[in-house]
Amino acid sequence: MASLYVGHEMSEAIRLLAEASHNLVNAVIRVTTNMAEHGPHKPLRQSVDSFVGIDIDSGASAVRSFGLDSVESFPLVDRAGQVIGVKFTSHEDDIAAYEHWAGAKLRTSDSSLCIGMPDVIRHPDGDRISWAEVRPAPWDAGGQPPTYLFAHGNADGTVDIRSKSGDGTQTDVVVDGTTFGRVLAANSYYLHALEGNSLTTVSGICYGESLAEGMTEHLWEAGIETDVYSFKTAANIYSLGTSKAHAEVSTLAAVAVDPADEQHLADPITHRALRRHS
């Protein structure tokens, strides 16, 4: 869930990250276009040779370059075997929790959004959870489910992803929204999900509003015609079932983990809509 980057001199780190990212774009990004594939469900593919990020363990000034193929992620698969999104790993993620959430018999987040922390009701036959407020999801169009995106977001507008080197060494890296957009635009799980679901992306990244502009602009530039809904607050997933391996119901909630988040619960979602020309 949400956490703050704990390095020192964060403003300088963000400046270095943005500068390094800009320089890398000019130097090593190449774009390959296959006109036969270009279209709403066949997005323009971008080949990004490398990206830059801050090595979390090495401090705020440790800006490093990483290969795109080193980024760790796994597909979110529903009960029918359909890929519905992607989760980028970092820190000590509970991968099984996300797999459990995606594979639930009923995924309420396709059409509704829970607000705040739930009430938990203990019961011998299985716990129950309920929310004081459940709203229609702003992304629900009454058709295909959205494509889901999860990663570890920070309140400063950055996101953490994990890079794995050839020798198996794992490095957690902080990147800005534009860089994350480049990584996402080339992610096979995300592209696969878009082709099988709607062109709506629901970003369950905590504080995802802060990075959504740079991320979304790059997706559009890459020819990926998606509308993006993102959270101004922290975002939590919840699953309930008879066992950890079989969820009956799962949902997504906007929650306040900091007093500053409370003001956003009245309107916790930001929508970035692509301007389509008729």
C-alpha 173/C-alpha 196 separation (Å) is 30
- Residue 202: the pLDDT is 97
- Residue 135: the pLDDT is 96
- Residue 233: the pLDDT is 95
- Residue 218: the pLDDT is 92
Task: Name the amino acid, one letter, at 252.
Answer: L
pLDDT at 22 over 70: no
Spatial CB neighbours of 27, under 8 Å, sequence gap ≥ 6: none
pLDDT digits (tens, 9 = 90+) for 217-234: 999 999 999 999 999 999
- Residue 120: the pLDDT is 81
End-to-end CA distance of the chain: 40
Spell out the SS3 assignment of 43-108. CCCEEECEEEEEEHHHCCCCEEEEEHHHECEEEEECCCCCEEEEEECCCCCCHHHHHHHHCCCEEH
- Per DSSP, the three-state class of 128 is strand
- Residue 139: the pLDDT is 95
- Residue 103: the pLDDT is 93
User: What percentage of the chain reaches a pLDDT higher than 90?
Assistant: 50
pLDDT digits (tens, 9 = 90+) for 145-198: 999 999 999 988 899 999 888 888 888 989 999 999 999 998 999 999 999 888
pLDDT digits (tens, 9 = 90+) for 121-147: 877 776 778 898 999 999 997 878 999
pLDDT at 247 over 90: no
- Residue 201: the pLDDT is 97
pLDDT at 109 over 90: yes
Position with higher pLDDT, 57 vs 102: 102
